[in-house]
Amino acid sequence: MRMQSTMMPVPLSLNHFLERARLYHPKVEIVSRMPDKSLHRHTYADFHRRAKGLAEALVTAGIKPGDRVATLMWNHYAHLECYFGIPAAGAVMHNLNLRLFPHDIAFIVNHAKDRFLIVDDVLLPLLAQFAKDVNFERIIVVPLTGKPVEQGHEDYEAFIGKATGDFNCVEVDENAPCGMCYTSGTTGNPKGVVYSHRSTVLHTLVAALPGGINVSGTDTVLPVVPMFHANAWGLPFMSTFVGAKQVFPGPHLDSESLLDLYQRERVTVTGGVPTIWLSLLQTLRANPAKYDLVPGMRMLVGGSAAPESLFRGFDEFNLEVATAWGMTETSPLGTVSVLKPQMRSLSKEEQYGFRTKQGMAAPLVDIRLIGDEGEVPWDGSSVGEIQVRGPWVTGGYHDLPLNESSFTADGWLRTGDVGCIDSEGFLRLTDRTKDLIKSGGEWISSVDLENAVMGHPAVLEASVIAVPHPRWAERPLAVVVLRPGMRATGEEIRDHLAKTFAKWQLPEGFAFVNEIPRTSTGKFLKTKLREMYKDWKWE
């Protein structure tokens, strides 16, 4: 007989994280900003008791392994309890994106066949907008405001309060589902991605590494990225796993509230999309002496391309921006940009060149670039579609047939992103397939142009889109928001860009606006911009 390993086949399970929290980190704090701005504090010991109380209450209420329990919540302690309590009942946590249109939320709830809903009391008005289109068996309300829960709904505190405390987590196979998220539908209908205990545990282990997102027990972690969006990039799982103090902003995502929380709670790691960081930088600059933040606080940025000016700007305040790339489909960590040891002796300017790239694939993630003629070399300039595979990369979508526009025949995820990889293995994303600009037969990277436009001192935000052009098929149009009190003309911005771009690559037109429309997760909504400017009159 062939030799067998002697190792125990113990399943990888989130329940282990939950029990560790009580055993090893019972006194570590979990701090949440409440709707009235007060701070709610409890510990991992409270978290453990309450999450298990939730699991017991769900099982008593008839939730069976594999059933979906939805959450409609901001980032706070009760959502963290759901992150572990729902899987501890053997069930699947389905977090709903509260920024979607109500009819889209209803579509997702029905598609996922969610049985129960756990919802913040402050979000009941949102629920009311789609309640008639869905059929939750039970609605459990978290009384964040302290007001009594209205009749017809159950009170979360009473629900979990009924637990006896004598409950063992429901152990399931490591490949059993523990959670699901729908893609936010920036480029199409929302599609369900289902995570397993195994995929989530492996993702957590690797993402927490120093060469990854880098979270340890000495950190204090504040996810600005919503817990309903790709599991807040896994930060709550990583923090619980290592016993880091967790800080949650609740519904208060404005720059002042965030800076106040960073300062008060001595935050060392945070994560969010570029649009949030751009306004935070603006607030810091307006009042540089006001905030005393932990020097070197690591600010993870992802979700869309971050301009170089963002890295330079935060460097002035001794805050370290680091890029990661991923998708709901990749749990979400795909690549992360952490300088290799030999890169640390490069000049600051050369380091920006690497820091602003999306970085190296995380261990256990395979990546390749596919062009028209097959695999593209890693030479730093040849561009292809990014394809990935790995133990936390989805191999399909919930209740949808496998589709060759999303998955290749040999089992890779087609990300719809386009980029190049250099000889160091650092990925640089140049576009999304649908955002590419094809001018006179040549591709132009909208991301490169956006970065450069945002490098102009008078520009606060910019998005570059393809707009139909009678001669060139498409030409780039830059939609620009200027900094308050500053002025610049399209001509001046073009001159600034002409230092680094060929003439044919320069934006052909400039639209100055007060605000750029955003997606539910804070990205610039290019589909809307393309619609708005499709009849642009070229000069």
Site pattern 86..115 for ligand ADP (x: CB under 6 A): ------------------------------
Position among 220, 246, 304, 505 found at the interface with ligand ADP (CB under 6 A): 304
Q: Scanning the structure block, which residue is given the tokens 């086949």?
A: 9
Amino acid at site 433: T
Cis peptide before 332, with omega less than 30 degrees from 0?
yes
Q: What's the min distance (Å) between Cβ of 423 and ligand ADP?
A: 21
Q: Scanning the structure block, which residue is given the tokens 């952490």?
A: 338
> Is 328 a residue that touches ligand ADP (CB under 6 A)?
yes
Residue 94 CB partners (closer than 8 Å, separation 6+): 68, 69, 70, 71, 112, 114, 179, 180, 181
Rg (CA), the chain: 23
Position among 51, 109, 230, 276 found at the interface with ligand ADP (CB under 6 A): 230
Q: Scanning the structure block, which residue is given the tokens 């729902």?
A: 86
Q: What's the min distance (Å) between Cβ of 447 and ligand ADP?
A: 7
Phi, psi dihedral angles at 347 (to 5 degrees): -70, 160
Contact present, 66 and 87 (Cβ < 8 Å):
no
Judged by CB under 6 A, the stretch of 206-214, 322-330, 498-506, 526-534 that binds ligand ADP is 322-330
SS3 label, residue 523: coil
- For residues 97 and 196, which CB has a smaller minimum distance to ligand ADP in the complex? 97
Residue 137 CB partners (closer than 8 Å, separation 6+): 115, 116
Catalytic-residue membership of 443? yes
> Is 476 a residue that touches ligand ADP (CB under 6 A)?
no
Catalytic-residue membership of 536? no
User: 56, 81, 174, 329: which one is catalytic?
Assistant: 329
CA distance 326 to 323: 10
> Is 406 a residue that touches ligand ADP (CB under 6 A)?
no
Q: What's the min distance (Å) between Cβ of 302 and ligand ADP?
A: 4
Touching ligand ADP, residues 505-534 (CB under 6 A): 521, 523
In Å, what is the CA distance from 96 to each residue of 61, 182, 192, 501? Answer: 21, 8, 11, 42
Pairing of strands 437-439, 442-444: antiparallel
> Is 429 a residue that touches ligand ADP (CB under 6 A)?
yes
- For residues 429 and 449, which CB has a smaller minimum distance to ligand ADP in the complex? 429
Q: What's the min distance (Å) between Cβ of 305 and ligand ADP?
A: 4
Judged by CB under 6 A, the stretch of 23-31, 91-99, 300-308, 508-516 that binds ligand ADP is 300-308
Q: What's the min distance (Å) between Cβ of 327 and ligand ADP?
A: 4
220: left (phi over 0), alpha (psi -120 to 50) or beta: beta
> Is 214 a residue that touches ligand ADP (CB under 6 A)?
no
Q: Which residues pair with 148 in a beta bridge?
A: none
CA distance 134 to 129: 10
> Is 183 a residue that touches ligand ADP (CB under 6 A)?
yes
Judged by CB under 6 A, the stretch of 81-89, 101-109, 121-129, 320-328 that binds ligand ADP is 320-328
CA distance 439 to 472: 5
Contacts with ligand ADP by CB under 6 A: the residue count is 23
- For residues 32 and 184, which CB has a smaller minimum distance to ligand ADP in the complex? 184
User: 71, 183, 204, 270: which one is catalytic?
Assistant: 183
Site pattern 340..369 for ligand ADP (x: CB under 6 A): ------------------x-----------
Position among 389, 432, 456, 494 found at the interface with ligand ADP (CB under 6 A): 432
User: 60, 154, 171, 443: which one is catalytic?
Assistant: 443
What one-character-per-residue DSSP string does 360-421 give? EEPTT-EEEEEETTEEPP-SSS--EEEEEE-TTS-SS-TTS---TTTB-TTS-EEEEEEEEE
Position among 13, 71, 95, 184 found at the interface with ligand ADP (CB under 6 A): 184
Q: Scanning the structure block, which residue is given the tokens 């996810």?
A: 223
Position among 214, 246, 323, 451 found at the interface with ligand ADP (CB under 6 A): 323
Q: What's the min distance (Å) between Cβ of 426 and ligand ADP?
A: 12
Position among 81, 174, 417, 508 found at the interface with ligand ADP (CB under 6 A): 417
What one-character-per-residue DSSP string does 76-89 give? SHHHHHHHHHHHHT
Catalytically active residues, by annotation = 183, 329, 438, 443
Residues contributing to the site for ligand ADP (CB under 6 A):
183-186, 230, 302-305, 323-328, 358, 415-417, 429, 432, 521, 523
